Copies of this chain bind each other. A is one copy, B any other.
Amino acid sequence: KKTRLQDTLRIGSIPADGIGKEVVPAAQLVVEAVGVPVKWISLDAGFEYFQRHGVALPQSTVDTLINSCDGALFGAVSSPSHRVEGYSSPIVALRKKLDLFANIRPVISSPHVPRSLPGINCVIVRENTECLYVKEEQLTTTASGHKVATATRRISQEASARIAKVAFDIAVQRAREFKRPGKVTIVHKANVLPITDGLFRETVLAVSKESAYKDIIVEEQLVDSCVYRTFIDPQSFDVLVAPNMYGDIISDGAAAVVGGLGLVPSANSGNNFVVAEPVHGSAPDIAGLNIANPIATIRAAGLMLQQLGHDKAARAIEAGIQESLRRGQTTKDLGGSESTHSAAEKIASHAVA
């Protein structure tokens, strides 16, 4: 994040699986169109790579990111539901290895998207390193031959405090930008999990007391009713802060009310690095058909550029997206007839400053 604007950015490109291989190139095309000097560094990861090479996230990918990249753009990873010996999600591993502790997911309405509810503008700030994602699981067999599996859910004060700060900083910045009071909604289930979610809640509340955040309204919402509220009254959210898995789940709900997963980006951010990715998955059913909606990944690239100091380019990209949406130059999922590639080209053409 310490690059100068004129420096060439070195960005890892990790398409990974399925439509990742189509939407990442589409986003690259748009980034180039807005004139940001980028050197793309192609990196391997994913389930398909695992099937060929026995490893989902090669050490060389991690090393290159750490040693030679300013940021990265990730596509999507296939999720086999059956347990595959030796396989585990490379994006989850990447978040942990690079300590990308904040998963930032802006969710906004699109006036020209049929299924989008109006007036939604919120940011989900998802803790990205712990909760059930520590993946400490065990299988035992009882005397009577029955299997019992356990998983550890871990919530630490440290991780909760740093994600809270990210959320409140975003709320402060948005309050300034939108010239209205900021609000942070703490998502938890402390009525059932008073120790773990209790710690998350208390820690976020403690951060909210810091003087820098004194104008930010704080509220809390149980995760189940948060999903409910996402459908009934999503306009009432500003910034949401959530433990890892609740954040995962509420993001998908939020994507649904703004018109679909094809639109929602995320930035996995640490103190020194950002890996941007769409919220959607690898969509094996439409992979290879050049029909996937590239917008989520293009927006992800915009988030990345913004975090790397290229605010103007990021704004140009979003303006390009808005213009394409307005003109209906969209892929099939949004009712249009563009291909992945041509949709990106249209956005690129509207995005040039």
Contact = CB atoms under 8 A, between A and B. Distances in A.
Contacts of A193: 132, 135, 137, 151
A267 B175 CA distance: 44
A151 B131 CA distance: 9
Given A89-B191, A149-B195, A252 B224 contact: yes
A148 interface: yes
A255 interface: yes
Contact of A149 (B132, B146, B199, B227): B199
Count copies of this chain in the complex.
2
Nearest to A81: B190
Interface stretch (A7-15, A256-264, A298-306, A314-322): A256-264
Interface of A: 79-83, 88-89, 92, 115, 132-133, 135, 137-139, 146-158, 188-196, 198-199, 201, 203, 220, 222-225, 227-228, 230-232, 245, 248-253, 255-257, 260-261, 281
Given A224-B252, A281-B225, A153 B151 contact: yes
A195 B195 CA distance: 24
B192 A133 contact: yes
Contacts of A146: 156-158
Contact of A83 (B88, B157, B198, B245): B198
Nearest to A255: B228
